[in-house]
Copies of this chain bind each other. A is one copy, B any other.
Amino acid sequence: MIIEVDPNSEVPIYQQLRDRVVEAIATGVLREGSPLPSTRALATDFGINFHTVNKGYDLLRQQRLLRINRKSGAVVLRDGNSGPPAPEFVEEWTGRATTLLAEATAHGLSREEVLDICRKVLETFGERQEDS
């Protein structure tokens, strides 16, 4: 895994970790069943406390993206090919997307420019199995 976190960022480390894992799942670097490093191992790798890693992993577990075993550590529970999302997720996500899209619009990006950026970002994510 090629994940990096910035301890000096204003966004909490555990959330950076969550974001990077989510992105790795979206890009296909991590798939359903992929194992993640142990909390202690990842902590020493990043030079951060293992509790911080723990909290990041816990966030991912709450979002049903990770399954945590005492025995075998953390395992990716789902990826883009694991079925449709929960309706509540879509609703909640749309709310956050609205704010983000409003910001781009207010700063002068046109509808098509915004969609182009989104399209390009989505293209960097791996192809879905059903597409190929």
Q: Which of A52-84 contact B (CB under 8 A)?
A: 62-65, 67-71, 75, 78-84
Question: Contacts of A101 on B, CB cut-off 8 Å?
Answer: 26, 118, 121-122, 125
Complex: A67 Cα to B9 Cα, angstroms: 8
B109 & A97 in contact (Cβ 8 Å cutoff): no
Q: What 10 A-B pairs are tightest by C-beta distance, nearest first?
A: A26-B102, A26-B105, A85-B107, A25-B106, A23-B102, A85-B108, A111-B122, A19-B99, A26-B106, A22-B102
> 12 A-B contacts, Cβ less than 8 Å apart?
A8-B75, A19-B99, A19-B102, A23-B98, A26-B103, A26-B105, A80-B109, A82-B108, A86-B107, A89-B107, A111-B122, A111-B123
Q: A residues bordering B, Cβ < 8 Å? A: 7-8, 10, 12, 19, 22-23, 25-27, 62-65, 67-71, 75, 78-86, 89-90, 93-94, 96-111, 114-115, 117-119, 121-123, 125, 128
